[in-house]
Amino acid sequence: MSQAIWMNGELVAYEDAKVHVLTHALHYGTSVFEGVRAYELPDGGTAVFRHQDHIDRLFRSAGLYHMEIPYSKDQIRAATFETITANALKSCYIRPLVFRGAGPMGLYPLDCPVDVMIAVWEWGAYLGDEGKVGGVRAKVSSWRRIPSDALIPTAKAGGQYLNSILAKIEADKAGYEEAILLDTRGYVCEGTGENLFLIKDGKVVTPGFANDILEGINRAAAIEILRDQGYDVVERDIARGELYRADEIFMTGTAAELTPIREVDDLAVGDGTRGPITAEIQAIFEDALHGRSERYSRWLDKVPAA
């Protein structure tokens, strides 16, 4: 875990990065956050992957829940660099969190302060290194993805994750590595923290915004790579049954990176191994993350040398 955590404008020691028990977000989930990753580059430096996209989404999420972040986007970017450098990490996961702090209780939050923290830590492949090669087993969840007439699926907000957490616990207790949530209309939506892609006969489909997905930054990267490689990618409603006849399925997310799914509901996807298109896109994606790709070098925001 972090040695130093950035809290409201300054770096503080891990032990001192504390909040009051009457922190509004603790009671009602009034927070927004990001999951970001930085990778070591071949030259020994470090770069944050699609940094500006994450910062933009953090500010968008905050705005959707009427939180004004008391820092500029440039200040958050600089604070992230400062935190990575202070912790002397070459590769890390980055967690910026914007939350309603201690103030009046009750559901009206706008009189509570808006606090900001950024923590970084080393975090390996979220669904395991073997999962990235051999694929993971997923289960269609009995929990539906939060609909946009109840919450705001395009926001990455703390309270909303109780939905993902229920699905994750259910999948884990049933012996699966990940859950696939359907939207309220019964169409395929996403994993608990990943977007989904299905491949059938060389064509790629992925759920769209009408399916209440979170607008994944790695989803956008995968779509761009797929199209650059000449694949047709269509965003559309995907019936649950299509999961069982896909040749390949993979997930994208900052934590999970690009991970194949080898089984859904105990049925093998394709031949039950990582498929050829998944392998092709994953290799290019990994090169992009780790600074080995010239084509996608614009996705990397280098941490300035200390």
Name which of 209, 259, 272 is nearest 237 in CA terms: 209
**Rounded-to-integer distance, Cα 180 and Cα 140, Å:** 5
**DSSP strand pairing (31-33 vs 188-190):** unpaired
Kindly indicate which of the ranges 103-111, 113-121, 217-225, 235-243 contains the residues binding ligand PMP, using the contact rule CB under 6 A: 217-225
- Cβ closest to ligand PMP, residue 24 vs residue 50: 50
Distances (CA, A) of 184 to 188, 258, 282: 10, 26, 30
As measured in angstroms, the least distance from the Cβ of 37 to ligand PMP is 9
Report the sign of the C-alpha dihedral through residues 124, 36, 61, 72, in that order.
positive
As measured in angstroms, the least distance from the Cβ of 250 to ligand PMP is 12
CA dihedral 256, 260, 265, 271 (to 10 degrees): -170
Q: Select the residue interacting with ligand PMP from 94, 98, 171, 214 (CB under 6 A).
A: 214
Helix, strand, coil content of the chain in percent (nearest 5) = 30, 30, 40
**x-marked contacts with ligand PMP along 127-156 as a string, rule CB under 6 A:** -----------------------------x
- 35 binding ligand PMP? (CB under 6 A): yes
- Cβ closest to ligand PMP, residue 131 vs residue 253: 253
Binding to ligand PMP, residues 161-190 (CB under 6 A): 164, 190
Q: Which residue numbers are catalytic?
A: 156
Distances (CA, A) of 72 to 38, 69, 86, 104, 109: 21, 7, 21, 26, 22
Q: Select the residue interacting with ligand PMP from 137, 219, 262, 274 (CB under 6 A).
A: 219
Distances (CA, A) of 26 to 19, 30, 161, 284: 9, 8, 13, 40
- 206 binding ligand PMP? (CB under 6 A): no
Q: Select the residue interacting with ligand PMP from 30, 80, 87, 252 (CB under 6 A).
A: 252
**x-marked contacts with ligand PMP along 47-86 as a string, rule CB under 6 A:** ----------------------------------------
Q: What is the DSSP letter of 97?
A: E
CA dihedral 13, 19, 25, 28 (to 10 degrees): 140
Q: Select the residue interacting with ligand PMP from 83, 254, 259, 282 (CB under 6 A).
A: 254
Kindly indicate which of the ranges 167-175, 211-219, 234-242, 276-284 contains the residues binding ligand PMP, using the contact rule CB under 6 A: 211-219
| Residues touching ligand PMP, count (CB under 6 A) | 15
Q: Where on the chain is the footprint of ligand PMP (CB under 6 A)?
A: 35, 156, 164, 190, 193-195, 214, 216-219, 252-254
